Amino acid sequence: MLESTPNGAGGVFYDEWQRADETGYVRHFFPWWYDEAYAIQDARNVHPLSPEERALVDREGLRDAQIAWRRVNRAELRGLAAQEFGEDSSSCFLASGECVFDLTAVDRALQLCGEPVEMRDNGRLMIWFPAQVGKQYLIGVDPASGSSEGDYSCAEVVERRSGIQCAELHGHFPPRELAIKLIELANYYCRALLVVERNNHGHGVLAHLQALGYLHVYRQGEQDGWWTSAVSRPAMVEILAAVLAEEPELFRSRRLLNEFRTFVRHADGKSAAIGGAHDDCVMAMAIALGARREPAGKNSSAGALDLASLPRRG
């Protein structure tokens, strides 16, 4: 058993919390109101309640005495209150530094996202919106080495017209295994356009895709794949931040939304995950939405739907 206050987004406990589905741990979150001591018994003039307070009362049944204590606590601790006296398992992990993404939009998305309608491949593939014949899809891919101690590979499936997140593949996959899984996923999603970052490990994944005969791959100029550079990366991230702020309902993955919380601007001006956190889902989604705005991503021709090609629940 591991027990801790959140203590920031990053570090051993945060990493174990995020990886619980893989490691077999069961998450238990205990909000501050479980302790009856957090109340001001002679509370007066609590009403009218703010919209946030009213939502807590309606959802959790908090008493006036608890609302009064919460107001005092928030006034004393300000920004640290959400971490030291957590109210949900997402916002309690505070990130140091200036978050790139609008946290109000992240909170809104978390309220709307819902659970996957199906999980496959031992939970490594989550599906919110199954493939529909006649629709076109893009899959943004952020590859990694496949080492169990390294970064994760991630693929985000979006519907081309709306940009809504349909599915997410996430795990430690060597390049050839990732290529095979991408082909299965792309065939399921109406022969989706694969937008694979070609930096670093992406070269190997693209080579395997070509060898395995899947040719519906995004191209820049004469090269397969998406190139993330010091120039393109900030633009990709800003596009993603703008879409989140304007349409938080498009995002379904809690893992992605939690990565938004820990993606910050560092002192050197660069934007990335804080130490101990990951940004694989963020970058895969940034690739998908960035490519969606390019000519090749706007005209993604749909192919045959092969429902048998994707592994069943496992």
CA distance 3 to 163: 38
For 177-207, the pLDDT digits (tens) are 999 999 999 999 999 999 999 998 999 999 9
Q: How confident is the model at residue 9 (pLDDT cuts 50, 70, 90)?
A: low
Number of domains in the chain: 2
Q: Is residue 262 part of a domain?
A: yes
**CB crowding 30-55: b at 16 or more within 10 Å, else e:** ebbbeeeeebbeebeebeeeeeebee
Same domain (yes/no): 70, 112: no
3-class secondary structure, 140: strand
Q: Is residue 6 part of a domain?
A: no
Same domain (yes/no): 35, 163: no
Q: Is residue 17 part of a domain?
A: no
Q: Is residue 3 part of a domain?
A: no
Please give the average per-residue pLDDT across 28-42, as a whole number: 89
Boundary of a domain, candidates 42, 58, 84: 84
Take residue 29 and report the two structure tokens written for it.
């979150």
Residue with tokens 């959140």: 6
Q: Is residue 71 part of a domain?
A: yes
Name the percent of the chain lying above pLDDT 70: 86
Q: Is residue 7 part of a domain?
A: no
Please give the average per-residue pLDDT across 7-24, as a whole number: 65
Q: What is the pLDDT of residue 168?
A: 98
Same domain (yes/no): 136, 70: no
Helix, strand, coil fractions of the chain, as percent rounded to 5: 40, 15, 45
| Range from 73-77, 203-207, 252-256 carrying the lowest mean pLDDT | 73-77
Q: By the 8 A CB rule, do 267 and 122 touch?
A: no
Same domain (yes/no): 136, 222: yes
**C-alpha angle 201-207-213 in degrees, rounded to nearest 5:** 140
Q: By the 8 A CB rule, do 94 and 80 touch?
A: yes
CA distance 273 to 151: 12
Structural domain including 119 reads 98-309
Q: What is the pLDDT of residue 1?
A: 73
Boundary of a domain, candidates 20, 53, 84: 84
Same domain (yes/no): 74, 111: no
Same domain (yes/no): 58, 171: no
**C-alpha angle 118-289-191 in degrees, rounded to nearest 5:** 55
Q: By the 8 A CB rule, do 62 and 68 touch?
A: no
Q: What is the pTM of this model?
A: 0.72
**C-alpha angle 282-146-285 in degrees, rounded to nearest 5:** 15
User: Would you tell me the crossing angle of helices 103-112 and 232-246 to the nearest 10 degrees?
Assistant: 60
For residue 285, what is the domain's CATH number?
A: 3.30.420.240
User: Is the model's pLDDT at 219 over the cut of 90?
Assistant: yes
User: Is the model's pLDDT at 96 over the cut of 60?
Assistant: no
Same domain (yes/no): 34, 148: no
Q: What is the pLDDT of residue 25?
A: 83
User: Is the model's pLDDT at 309 over the cut of 50?
Assistant: no
For 290-308, the pLDDT digits (tens) are 999 988 666 544 443 444 4
Q: Is residue 11 part of a domain?
A: no
CA distance 159 to 139: 9
Report the chain's mean pLDDT, rounded to a whole number.
86
Boundary of a domain, candidates 56, 84, 112: 84
Q: Is residue 314 part of a domain?
A: no
Q: What is the pLDDT of residue 298?
A: 60
User: Is the model's pLDDT at 310 over the cut of 70?
Assistant: no
